[in-house]
Amino acid sequence: MRILVVEDDRSVAETVRRMLVAEGWVVDVVNDGVTGLERAMTERFDVVVLDIMMPGLNGYEVVRRLRSVDNWTPVLMLTAKDGEYDQADAFDFGADDYLTKPFSFVVFVARLRALARRGAPARPAVLVAGSLSLDPAAHVAKRGDVELSLTPREFGMLEYLMRRKGEVVTKAEILDSVWDINYRGDENVVEVYVSYLRRRIDTPFECKAIETVRGVGYRLAADGGG
């Protein structure tokens, strides 16, 4: 198994390299994000291990750029940043796993093996429904060639509907997926945001992407509504 370790702390990088070589793996080490991105894009690795805070490009940007060109090599973030939002950002940008320092080497190796077994299946970098497109990593949504100006909540709702395109989803399902888990307000807020979203993605383009299924919920047309 061939591993690329991208870590600017040279002592940490060397410790990881020695540990993995002792497991019988081939390990390449680089110490900045720019070189790491170049190596990951031009050479074949079974897993890439990325630090987050690095010179040149940080780990988030490295994995985002890899995914933007459909490079799905499994990525494990190895970092001292242990906040829940840091982890959420890592997964949103396309990381497959996340491990904080200090870490158990036994767990580290087990996770690398699991990622290597999983391999790199092709996964769509951009969600598409007809002329509607949404790139979760770049946080960009378009109708045709026109970039849509969406609030974070509108973007989250559109992403959820596009992931479930052609399916009927209830207000409760939308609330659970798009609003904070602690939200205790009226579920009719979903209607309000559906109205906002229609004004952004449908009305200016004379399209009808979001359908109301009376008594049930909403459905985003698989063809994007025109």
Mean pLDDT score across all residues of the chain: 86
pLDDT score recorded for residue 152 = 82
Q: Which of 39, 52, 57 is nearest to 90 (CA)?
A: 52
Q: State the average pLDDT over residues 64-71.
A: 85
| Residues 97 and 164 grouped into a single domain | no
| Residues 149 and 186 grouped into a single domain | yes
| Residues 18 and 93 grouped into a single domain | yes
> What percent of the chain has a predicted confidence (pLDDT) above 70?
93
Q: State the average pLDDT over residues 42-67.
A: 89
Contact 209, 202 (CB under 8 A): yes
Of 119, 148, 170, the one marking the end of a domain is 119
- 24 DSSP assignment: T
Which residues constitute the domain of residue 72?
2-119
Q: State the average pLDDT over residues 158-170.
A: 90
pLDDT band for position 221 (cuts 50, 70, 90): very high
Residue 188: CATH number of its domain: 1.10.10.10
Of 64, 88, 119, the one marking the end of a domain is 119
| Residues 112 and 146 grouped into a single domain | no
- 204 DSSP assignment: G
The tally of domains found in the chain comes to: 2
pLDDT score recorded for residue 182 = 58
Q: State the average pLDDT over residues 157-163.
A: 89
pLDDT band for position 198 (cuts 50, 70, 90): very high
The tens digit of pLDDT for each residue in 2-35 reads: 899 999 989 989 999 998 888 878 889 999 999 9
Task: Look up residue 45 and give its two tokens.
Answer: 């690795």
- Whole-angstrom CA distances from 203 to 150, 152, 207 are 14, 20, 6
The tens digit of pLDDT for each residue in 130-153 reads: 999 998 767 789 999 999 999 888
| Residues 17 and 108 grouped into a single domain | yes
Say if 226 falls within a structural domain.
Answer: no
| Residues 36 and 86 grouped into a single domain | yes
Residue 96: CATH number of its domain: 3.40.50.2300
| Residues 16 and 96 grouped into a single domain | yes
- Distance, CA of 177 to CA of 169 (rounded, Å): 11
pLDDT score recorded for residue 137 = 67
The tens digit of pLDDT for each residue in 88-143 reads: 778 888 888 888 888 888 898 888 888 887 765 555 668 899 999 998 767 789 99
Say if 64 falls within a structural domain.
Answer: yes
Does pLDDT of 86 surpass 60? Answer: yes
Does pLDDT of 181 surpass 60? Answer: no
Contact 111, 99 (CB under 8 A): yes
pLDDT score recorded for residue 49 = 94
| Residues 166 and 132 grouped into a single domain | yes
